[in-house]
Amino acid sequence: MKFFILLIFLIFFNSCNSVKEINNVKVIGKMSDVMWKGDLKGKIATDSLNNKETYGLGPIEFLKGEIVVFEGQTFVSKVIDSVFHQVTKIPSVRAPFFVYSTNSDLKVVEFTLENYSIKEIEEHIDSVYKNYDQPLLIRIDGVFNNMKLHSVNLPEGEQVSSPDEAHQGLTQYDFNNISGSLIGFFSRHHKAVFTHHDSFFHAHFISDDRQVLGHIDELNFNSSKVTLKVSK
DSSP state of 191: B
Is residue 89, in this structure, part of any structural domain at all?
Answer: yes
With 90 as the cut, is the pLDDT of residue 20 above it?
no
d(CA 62, CA 105): 32
Is residue 13, in this structure, part of any structural domain at all?
Answer: no
Is residue 110, in this structure, part of any structural domain at all?
Answer: yes
The answer to whether 202 and 123 are in contact (CB under 8 A) is no
Is residue 10, in this structure, part of any structural domain at all?
Answer: no
The one-letter amino acid at 71: E
What residues make up the domain containing 176? 24-231
Is residue 17, in this structure, part of any structural domain at all?
Answer: no
Is residue 49, in this structure, part of any structural domain at all?
Answer: yes
Tell me the pLDDT tens digit for each residue of 72-108: 999 999 999 999 999 999 999 999 999 999 989 999 9
CA distances to 12, 40, 51, 187, 200 from 36, in Å: 34, 10, 33, 21, 20
Q: Give strand pairing partners of 150.
A: 172, 215
Q: How many domains does the chain have?
A: 1
With 90 as the cut, is the pLDDT of residue 17 above it?
no
Q: What is the CATH number of the domain that holds 215?
A: 3.30.1330.80
With 80 as the cut, is the pLDDT of residue 147 above it?
yes
What is this structure's pTM? 0.89
